[in-house]
Each structure stands twice: as C-alpha cells, then as structure tokens.
Chains A and B, each alone.
Chain A
Amino acid sequence: MANLFPKETNIVPIKIILCKVITVILIVLGITYYFTPKYTRIGYKPTQPVAFDHSLHAGQLGLDCRYCHSFGTVSSHSNVPTTQTCMNCHRQVKSNSPKLAPLRESWETGKPMKWIKIHQAPDYVYFNHSAHLNRGISCASCHGKINEMEVVWHDKSHSMGWCLECHRNPEFHIRPQEEVFNLDWKAGDGSTKAQVEQGRELVKKWGVNPSQNCQACHR
C-alpha cells in the first residue's frame, strides 16, 4: 500500500492552492483593470457620417465652441449643431466636396444628420452643462483638448468617482470665466500648483460649493 501514491503527491495540495490563488488574483486584477469606465469608455472614437475635423474648425480657424454648440451655457444639454449651422459656410466653402454629401442630403431632405454620440451619460444621470460652464469649468476639463482632435474620442472616464473627485476638489479645474472656452488656457506657468492657487481663490470668491449629495445628479 505504501507505494500507491508517489512521494510528490504530498505537495499536490499546496500546488492546487497556489494555482487557485494565482487564478483568483489574476481575475481580480483583470476586473479592476477592465470593468471600469477608464477602460470601457476612454478611447471610443467612432467614425462619424461626415469626418468633421475639430482641430481644423475650432483649432486652425478659431471658431468658438459656441458657434455650433450654441446652447451649452443656457441649457442642461449642449446641442449638436443643426445642418443649417454647417451650411452657413458650406453652401460656398467646399460646396461640392464628396465628403459633405451626407450633409447636403440632410439639407435637401430636412432629415437630421445621424451624428454618433460619443459621450453618453447613463439616463439616470442629470448632468447640467450650463451649471458648469457658467462657473468656470472648461469644456476641456471633461472632454479633453477637443480643439486638437482631428477625430473626437472619449478622453475622460466620466465615471461617478471621476465626477466626485472634482466635486470634492474643484480648485484643480476651476478657471476664470472668460477662459472657459479657451481650451489652451493654463493657470500661471501651467503648473498644478499655480492652478490650485488660482482655483482656491476663485472657489472662495464665487462661493463654489459643489454638491456631493446623490440627489444632485440622480433624481
């Protein structure tokens, strides 16, 4: 009977436990890394029906964000422009370009352009653009440097933790009201220290007290 199991059988239980531990650790690491908006949302870069180039329009030409997204400062929703807004220029500029064919079709038929929405908060989140834009939070804080993107991608995670981070420490993002639509703006010498110093002053001056109550965003 003594030779039924060889000697190495003695360490089999340890090996099994070790394998299980490694597997569990890897699964946990995988979930922490992948099951978060930092992975699922950031980098979403769809191909739009018309390859609208923000770096050309907002960067090179210097169009203000509000030329197209005209109601962000007065409404909870920052609108995608109407076809007419595009046609203001594109009836004359590049009016025969094949790239703009879907736009012309929309203009002639009256059917809206089917732009693909990139930043989509869940339907139980009530985000208000005007509340942020009118209190010194720039487009760039949540959408990244759109004025440098040829094709727009989802740049920040927009997770609840990410929202709360700024609601707890708004001085890292708040900026003078007149610089909100200047996406290239940086506080002082561009360092985080300069931003925080100026941010603290603005928070105090405006009495900014961002809510951390559930009900602020989830009604």
Chain B
Amino acid sequence: MRYYLLGLFVAVTVVLCVVGFRGQKTERPPIEIFDDMDRQAKVKYQKPSEFFADGQASRMPISGTVPATIPIDDQYFVTGAIGNQWGDGMPKSVTVSSKFMAAGKERYEINCRVCHGSTGMGNGIVTQYGLAGVANLTDERIRAMSDGEIFNTITKGKGQMMGYGANITPQDRWAVVAYIRALQRSQKASLSDVPETEREKLLKK
C-alpha cells in the first residue's frame, strides 16, 4: 500500500509537470482528442491547398472577369470616371441620406483616420511614427478635386497612399467621399450652415 501510494504520488507529479495546468501559455498546437472529421480535405478561406499548382486555396479573379456583385452597367459607380474624365457628384444608384453619411463616417474612421486624422487635416496618429506626405483633405487642392477623382484615389491610391479598393466596397467608398466633403465643409462652416433650431444652442457656448 505504501509503495502504491508513493508510486501514485510520483505518477501524478510527473503528469502535472509534463502536461501542466489549464490556461498555461504554450506553443504546442491544440490537441484534438477525438479528431474525427475535425480537419476535412475541403477548400477553406485563406488556407493552403494542394489542389492548385500555386498552393493557394483562395483564387485570384480570372483576368477579364468582374465579380457578380459589381454592377457593370454603371461605370461611374465603379470607376469614378465618365468617359475619359473624372465625374463630379454622386452616381445615380447612390442616395445620400443620414444613414449613408453615417456609413461614410464609420468607414472613414476605420480606414482613413489613422493617417488623415479625425478631421481630415492630415495629422493622423501614424504621422507621429514616420509616415510623411499625408494629404490634408481640407485644403484647396482636395476641395477643388472632383468626386470621381477622390473616389479613384480611395480605390487605387496615389503617391505614397495605396489603394483601399480591396477593403472598402464601391458603395462605401462613395459614402467616404461624401463624408470627406462634409469634413471639408465643417472646416469652413458659417452660422448659416447650422440648422435654425440648433443655432441658439451654439450661440450660447
């Protein structure tokens, strides 16, 4: 009995030393105890695949094709250009509403604020870490720029800025254009821009 208990104590100690406790940080991948069908031979998001020669499960679009989600009959909506020129104003399929502006604000704050800053002045947090040449979205050059050109800059980038076309849908890119216009206006706003009901509140401050 004594030897048995001693042996048991040693065994428990060895197990605890080897496998440790719950929640310990480890580099060892999770053990799958009953691993039936846990990992199936199917194509998964952003995973390698032996089926394709380049080893990638995610495929690039075949050249000359367009995703079905992108309308092909509204070129301005997708490219920001009408013929050979940048267009101005919102595309036909876009309705500017407060919901649309809110979407623009949300996308702006996710994707643009880091560099261009909350107000668009080009003073985002990344500029403190060595990113130079960030455009001030409220200056004259951008104010004078057509909506289509801003849309194209968001899509494909310009100068040091790279394109965000892959990260933001066309609809949301137009919303960001609208929000940038709102930021520009807010920097040169006069009292007459404020709705009459709100003016008194502002004057009191």
Q: Give A residues with C-beta under 8 Å from B.
A: 15, 18-19, 22-23, 26, 30, 33-35, 37-47, 61-64, 66-67, 70, 77, 79-80, 82, 84-85, 87-89, 91-94, 112, 120, 122-124, 153-154
Complex: how many Å from CA A34 to CA B15?
Answer: 11
How many A-B pairs have beta carbons closer than 8 Å: the answer is 100
Q: Give B residues with C-beta under 8 Å from A.
A: 1, 4, 8, 12, 15, 19, 22-33, 37-40, 42, 44-46, 56, 109-111, 114-115, 125-126, 129-132, 160-162, 166-168
Give the residues in chain A near B126, CB-CB below 8 Å: 61, 89, 93
Complex: how many Å from CA A66 to CA B167?
Answer: 9
Q: Is the CB of B160 within 8 A of A44?
A: no
Where chain B touches its partner, the secondary structure class is loop
Pairs of residues from A and B, 4 with the lowest C-beta to C-beta distance, nearest first:
A123-B40, A122-B38, A77-B45, A64-B110
Complex: chain B residue closest to A12, CB-CB: B1
Q: Is the CB of A93 within 8 A of B30?
A: no
Q: Is the CB of B12 within 8 A of A26?
A: yes
Give the residues in chain B near A35, CB-CB below 8 Å: 33
Complex: how many Å from CA A18 to CA B5?
Answer: 11
Q: Is the CB of B37 within 8 A of A40?
A: no
Q: How many Å from the CB of B88 to the closest CB on chain A?
A: 27
Give the residues in chain A near B25, CB-CB below 8 Å: 43, 45, 153
Can you show 19 pairs from A to B with CB atoms below 8 A apart?
Answer: A15-B1, A37-B30, A41-B30, A42-B23, A43-B26, A61-B114, A61-B126, A61-B129, A66-B110, A70-B167, A70-B168, A89-B114, A92-B160, A93-B129, A93-B131, A112-B56, A123-B44, A124-B37, A153-B25
Instruction: Report if A45-B26 is in contact (Cβ < 8 Å); known contacts: A22-B8, A30-B15, A61-B114.
Output: yes
Where chain A touches its partner, the secondary structure class is loop
Q: Is the CB of A85 within 8 A of B167?
A: yes
Q: Is the CB of B26 within 8 A of A67?
A: no
Complex: chain B residue closest to A35, CB-CB: B33
Q: How many Å from the CB of A32 to the closest CB on chain B?
A: 11
Q: Is the CB of A38 within 8 A of B162?
A: no
Complex: how many Å from CA A87 to CA B160?
Answer: 10
Q: How many Å from the CB of B191 to the closest CB on chain A?
A: 30
Complex: how many Å from CA A147 to CA B53?
Answer: 37
Complex: chain A residue closest to B133, CB-CB: A92
Give the residues in chain A near B26, CB-CB below 8 Å: 43-45
Give the residues in chain B near A67, CB-CB below 8 Å: 110-111, 114
Q: Is the CB of B22 within 8 A of A39?
A: yes
Q: Is the CB of B30 within 8 A of A92?
A: no
Q: Is the CB of A123 within 8 A of B110?
A: no
Complex: how many Å from CA A113 to CA B131?
Answer: 23
Q: Is the CB of B40 within 8 A of A154?
A: no
Give the residues in chain A near B131, CB-CB below 8 Å: 89, 92-93
